[in-house]
Structure 1
Amino acid sequence: MAMPYAVSVVDREALRLSGPGVNLSEAMARVPGLVVNNRANYAQDLQISARGFGARAGFGVRGVRLYADGIPASGPDGQGQVSHFNLGDAQRVEVLRGPFSVLYGNSSGGVINLISAPVDRAEAELALDAGSFGLRQARARVAGPLGQGWDARLSLSQFRWDGFREHSAAERTQAHLRLGWTGASDRVVLVAGYFDQPSDDPLGLKPADFAADPLQTVPEAEQYNTRKVARQTQLGLSWRHDFGEDGPLRESLLSAYSGQRGVTQWQAIPVGTQGNPRHGGGVVDFDRDYNGLEARLRWQLDTVALVTGLAWDRQVDDRRGYENFIGSTLGVTGALRREEDNTARSRDAYAQADWPLAADWTASAGVRSGRVRYVTEDHYVKPPNVDDSGALAYDYTNPVLGLRWQLDPGWQLHASVARGFEAPTLGELAYRPDGAGGFNTALKPQVSRQLEVGGKWRRHGWALDLTAFLNRVSDELATLTNSGGRSTFQNVGDTRRQGLELAGRWQLAPQWRAQTALTWLQAEYLDAFKACAGTPCTSPSLLVPAGNRIAGTQGRAAWAELAWQGGHWGEWAVEARGVGRVQANDANTASAAGHGLAALRWSQRYALSGAQRLEVLARVDNLADRRYAGSVIVNDGNGRYLETGSPRAVLLGLRWVGGL
């Protein structure tokens, strides 16, 4: 509660009760200001935005920084993914919104940080989940101390899903190892992860197709066998040293990580479109090496608590493109059409200080300064396919200032201001709109100026958080052209994001508790600009007037839960969620209608012999079996904007835990 900014924590119990622990979207509706939509399409990552930052992403995650056990899941260019998050071992997920998120560097309009549970006892776990549309999952975990300060945990999981639309099946295999050592003044943790996910891609639906049958799959998905295979291995190491309280330097933290990620995706790009010799093909294929280092020191200088640090991150992509046909056979890997090496590097220095101004007043200030550098080496130069090699760098300095007033032990007010920075991604810089070779050097980063005021109240099991914010963005990034398999981007002037967020929790009686999260967001363009009306588009001609909603942002969202704990009857809860209309394109000519959903759950824990227990979870989601668009593909060039949300779905989960 003492922090002067809006932060939410979703704990392990909430994660466990919200679903099978496959997707981060299961539990995050309880966080105001945050959108985490399940596309019901495992060939695309979740749709994530915070206060409207990241809403423009048609795939992957950008504008929001992602971390899992200290390892960035966002690359130096700001694009990331959460599909490999290990929710089964998570102790909590922290969500930071607002000005202080800028201290995480480039593209940090918000921060999502998954933190795994420590190993504090010897136990084993077996879990099985089964549900609608062929959902089945098996998990196994063993953990415990090894003696002489050592501890370890090994987790394995296998997930399969047939999907409620044709051509949407997916599989996921994960393995995670955590090895720790604790000494008198040191703590060393090694984490290793493996992830493999093949999945079909049912594609989005045009509004007319969605209205006719939201559960259908467009013919192109089967015709081109659209699908994706993603795989990842990574290793991370952190070393924390405690210097004691005798001097100003209190603690150091050194962390390092390295990994490899590979993606192959077969798309539904027509053969005729690939006849353009400049086209990159209908199969995307890349292998990425990524690594990084961070060193942090924590100081106590009289009454000032200070944290200083240095960070360095790098990704190198061996990127290739192929035709998605051989002769008359579609949906296969054909001739090479693109081959290049993409490198992104970032280096940062940061500092954050907290100091008391008076008995009830505390100030916080911080600054992060860094550079993001991109280099592309094009190895596929066959005229008229020009050389798209290039190099570009952006520098930034993000300051932040906060003030906290502790009115009494349970009531706090806060205010903060900051400057944020979001660089274009490698993909957004790849091509110039005039067709010449090299990076789009005219593209500028978008810069935000953020203001937040809020209050936090805690008393007798009741909690209330209220936050108001205003963000003004200059040089907002948006699509410029989409033709011949090449997309280019532009800066479209100023935008504004303003809103209110409310989170509440009440212990109504010993057996009853309630929780809610409410969001109001106005995200709009302040300057008019021209956009493309479809594909192909060599020159934008569609006017986007000032005042239009930023595509992908939710103007209103609400979530509530009422739970009753009945002892041997277990816990029963009803959940409700509602969202307003979401514009699918910047022209605001297509949208996903608002909708409301309800869910019912029951859970119980049974004590078995010894230290064993059995946990049971039963859920029914979308009780009324509503037909709705669960997410949108923002500014899709083919007009296939809408991704269907899940019909009524039943889940049964069993979890056995026993001591070793």
Structure 2
Amino acid sequence: MHNEPRFSSLRRIRRRDPIAALGAVMLTLAATTAHAQARTRADSAKADSARTTSAQALQGVRVTVTRDAARSPLELPFAWSRATIDDRPALRRSGVADVLLGIPGVQVQDRANPSQDPRIAVRGFGARSAFGVRGVRVLRDGIPLTLPDGQTPLDWLDLESVGRVDVIRGTAAALYGNAAGGVIDFRSRAPSARPFAIDARLWDGGGLQRGSVLASGSRRDTTGTVQGGGWLGSVTRTTGDGPRQWSHLDATSAFGRAMATLGGTRFEVQGTRYDTPRAENTGALTAAELARDPRLPDSLNITRRSRKAVEQSQLSLLAARGDGANTLNASLFVGTRTLDNPLPFAIVAVDRHVAGGSLHGARRTTRLSWPLRLGAGVDAQRQVDDRLNFENCSTLAASAPATALCPKPGNERGSVRLNQQERVGGLGGYVRAEVEAPHRIFASAALRYDRVNFAVRDRFITGTNLDDSGERVLSAVSPMLGIAWRARPLLSVYANLSTAFETPTITELTNQDNGAAGLNALLDPQRTRTAEVGVQGMLWSRLRADVALFRATVLEELVPFDVPNQPGRRAFRNAGRTSRQGIETNLTASTSMFDIGVAHTWSRFEFDTYRVGAANYDGKVIPGIPAHLLQAYVTARRAGWFATVDGTASSRVSADDASTVFAAGYAAWNVRAGYTAPRVGHVRLEPTVGIENMFDRRYAGSVVINATRSRYFEPGLPRRLTFVMRIQAE
């Protein structure tokens, strides 16, 4: 689709410009809403009440992204966003794209592929990921989902039990270490204040069906007052053939948490179990196939029966002590993951064990002329993977003659191609200091040191198979400086200078396109320096605004490419230097009847110095990232009825380093409408119907960067009707 025209300027509203069209419609809706509110005095009074509530809500928000005591976001020198999931009526929770909608600087590429996690990018970090999430640090309740080598599998995250998401939209290695080009922290739903309550959802749409049941409760004393204990348990089951051919999914997840306060210390135990016996890999398409039918699969993925089966378990223990000024937090976790992953080039089997912990705290003192807050912490993680690769013999019939690669025709697994143990250990510590100067000025500095050790022990050494054993140690020092000025009680201005580093994963270090043995000694971590300024807060007591401008320089950027003549196998190389600059804008407003939000991200990401042999890519755009990304929504509520329209529009996206292949720009609209029925006894029903991709736009929601066989395009979801029934009982 390289012949698509360039995306037109946002200053002009053209018929074929999806972003301008979407923006114009949203502005028209906003204007219509404002006009309707002004028509009656009663509506004006309701709006005044809503504005007061919004201001109080913002003032009362507390976040822990600084890894110390909960703070007001207006005192932090970061671009920070929060998405409270239950604030959006009948949100599908079918993927992270739903819950991260409307956060500027965050791009979620839904690959419509149950075998592949959605690709999440924060300011472009993560857009190159071949599988899982890369370049972005992902946590749940402070426990890292990101492995020590920087990779994050998201398939086992149960969104039904998530209540909100906090996002740092910028480099945060000074606090979080490796792969912290951005930070996404999923926070679990709080237990019901009642002794026992149930929240169940039934969802059907696009060939998939999902059912979930969440039960929770809180401990009370003899007077009925809620104490410091509670529990929550959630089970979710998803099954169906999916929106494309060869996209069957069969998955079950369970999550539980129990909390108690003993001797002034808050303890919490969490457990997760995830089981997916079958998730088919539908693959990417050529431009011609995408234009013909986006439901088509990659035919090679069918003949090779590409898919995955996963089992994962994790147990975590958290403890916290202290008040708002002085805190101490600790955590421990252990987990296992087994993966059986037939791919076109091989069958990959992994048996993984992970463990880790953290200890961090903060103390505020007023003994000096200006109040001083000090924080420090240490994080440790370890992963051990026992990896086996087999020859993929799925195309051979049982009657075929035996060969050295496929000694037992009819068996999918052929001869062993790889047998090794991979170990990755990460250890990092940080210190942070913040001075509260007069005139509501908060100046802070942080410094972190990280050391990541990679080791491979080869168990399959033959006359033709070289010894792939090896070890590499990668380390980094990450400083950060920031300042925030709370110019008004509900408005702040901030600036920061921050850094990030990202190591290759253990798989990226072992996948060498030239077939060399051992770990790739030429593949280095990428390092980023970022300068950022921004403003956030309430304007005119009704409009919440968030504007951030940034410029980043990345050295040794990690760039993926498909290995020639080995379909599905990826390798990585370093680009010399890249530059990124962008503007992120988010405006939201709420009244008694309407919620309106618009988020726009402008990005200009380019290779400054990048040569591969005789090819010169200097000045080319970094693939996978649109120059313009606009998301918007309008929700109306009245007398129990509600309706939501939301849309995403993107300019065209480059799919290769040479900027010769592009996915066209698009705009996709979704609509939902439902009714929250009055409670009957102890039960309340909330049915919702919706249409995703209402106009059935054919587009590439994601691209495979530098793909072979011209399979660059991963289709967005086709139009589908969805139905959700929510049942609440207490």
- Shift in Å at residue 593 of structure 1? 0.8
What is the rounded CA distance, in whole Å, between the counterparts of 2:120 and 2:102 in structure 1?
14
Q: 1:428 to 1:124 in 2, by over 3 A?
A: same
- Counterpart for residue 96 of structure 1: 168
1:110 matches 2:182: yes
Seq. identity, %: 30
Structure-2-length-normalised TM-score: 0.83
Structure-1-length-normalised TM-score: 0.92
Matches for 1:101-500 after TM superposition, within 5 Å? 102-119=174-191, 120-146=193-219, 150-197=229-276, 198-242=278-322, 250-269=326-345, 282-302=346-366, 303-325=371-393, 328-329=396-397, 332-432=412-512, 435-459=515-539, 460-479=541-560, 482-483=563-564, 485=566, 487-500=570-583
Q: Secondary structure at the match of 1:334?
A: strand
- Counterpart for residue 50 of structure 1: 122
Q: Secondary structure at the match of 1:428?
A: helix
What is the rounded CA distance, in whole Å, between the counterparts of 2:411 and 2:646 in structure 1?
41
| Ranges of 4+ aligned residues in structure 1 off by more than 6 Å | none
1:598 matches 2:662: no
Question: Once the two structures are superposed, what CA deviation does each residue of 1:470-500 show, in whole Å capped at 9, x if it has no partner?
Answer: 0100111224772575754322200011100
What is the rounded CA distance, in whole Å, between the counterparts of 1:124 and 1:301 in structure 2?
42
What is the rounded CA distance, in whole Å, between the counterparts of 2:531 and 2:394 in structure 1?
55
The one-letter code matched in structure 1 to 2:376 is: T
Q: 1:129 to 1:470 in 2, by over 3 A?
A: same
Question: Once the two structures are superposed, what CA deviation does each residue of 1:245-273 show, in whole Å capped at 9, x if it has no partner?
Answer: 9xxx922111000000111111123xxxx
- Counterpart for residue 611 of structure 2: 529
What is the rounded CA distance, in whole Å, between the counterparts of 1:404 and 1:324 in structure 2?
56
Question: Once the two structures are superposed, what CA deviation does each residue of 1:287-327 show, in whole Å capped at 9, x if it has no partner?
Answer: 11001010112211321122211110000000110011168
Q: 1:558 to 1:151 in 2, by over 3 A?
A: same
1:433, 1:440 within 8 Å by CA — same for their partners in 2?
no
Higher deviation after alignment, 452-461 or 432-441: 432-441
Q: 1:181 to 1:464 in 2, by over 3 A?
A: same
The one-letter code matched in structure 1 to 2:206 is: F
Gaps of at least 5 residues in structure 2 are 1-72, 222-227, 398-409
Q: 1:144 to 1:73 in 2, by over 3 A?
A: same
Q: Give the structure with the larger strand fraction.
A: 1
2:284, 2:713 within 8 Å by CA — same for their partners in 1?
yes
- The aligned length equals 630
What is the rounded CA distance, in whole Å, between the counterparts of 1:188 and 1:254 in structure 2?
10
What is the rounded CA distance, in whole Å, between the counterparts of 2:202 and 2:248 in structure 1?
17
What is the rounded CA distance, in whole Å, between the counterparts of 2:90 and 2:173 in structure 1?
28
- Shift in Å at residue 356 of structure 1? 1.4
Q: 1:4 aligns with which of 47, 59, 77?
A: 77
The one-letter code matched in structure 2 to 1:75 is: L
Q: Secondary structure at the match of 2:376?
A: strand
1:5, 1:100 within 8 Å by CA — same for their partners in 2?
no
- Counterpart for residue 576 of structure 1: 647
Alpha-carbon RMSD: 2.0
Q: 1:134 to 1:461 in 2, by over 3 A?
A: same
- Counterpart for residue 148 of structure 2: 76
What is the rounded CA distance, in whole Å, between the counterparts of 2:109 and 2:115 in structure 1?
14
1:366, 1:400 within 8 Å by CA — same for their partners in 2?
yes
What is the rounded CA distance, in whole Å, between the counterparts of 1:584 and 1:16 in structure 2?
35
Q: 2:631 aligns with which of 559, 567, 571?
A: 559
Q: 1:138 to 1:313 in 2, by over 3 A?
A: same
- Counterpart for residue 273 of structure 1: none
What is the rounded CA distance, in whole Å, between the counterparts of 2:642 and 2:101 in structure 1?
20
The one-letter code matched in structure 1 to 2:250 is: E
- Shift in Å at residue 105 of structure 1? 0.4
Q: Secondary structure at the match of 1:43?
A: coil
Q: 1:13 aligns with which of 60, 67, 86?
A: 86
- Counterpart for residue 275 of structure 1: none
- Shift in Å at residue 386 of structure 1? 0.7
What is the rounded CA distance, in whole Å, between the counterparts of 2:81 and 2:645 in structure 1?
21
1:503 matches 2:586: yes
- Counterpart for residue 622 of structure 2: 550
The one-letter code matched in structure 2 to 1:472 is: T
Question: Once the two structures are superposed, what CA deviation does each residue of 1:172-206 show, in whole Å capped at 9, x if it has no partner?
Answer: 10111111111351100000000112211111112
Q: 1:102 to 1:629 in 2, by over 3 A?
A: farther
The one-letter code matched in structure 2 to 1:155 is: S
- Counterpart for residue 55 of structure 2: none
Higher deviation after alignment, 308-317 or 83-92: 83-92
The one-letter code matched in structure 1 to 2:601 is: T
- Shift in Å at residue 618 of structure 1? 2.1
The one-letter code matched in structure 2 to 1:615 is: E
The one-letter code matched in structure 2 to 1:177 is: G
Q: 1:647 to 1:17 in 2, by over 3 A?
A: same
Q: Secondary structure at the match of 1:493?
A: strand
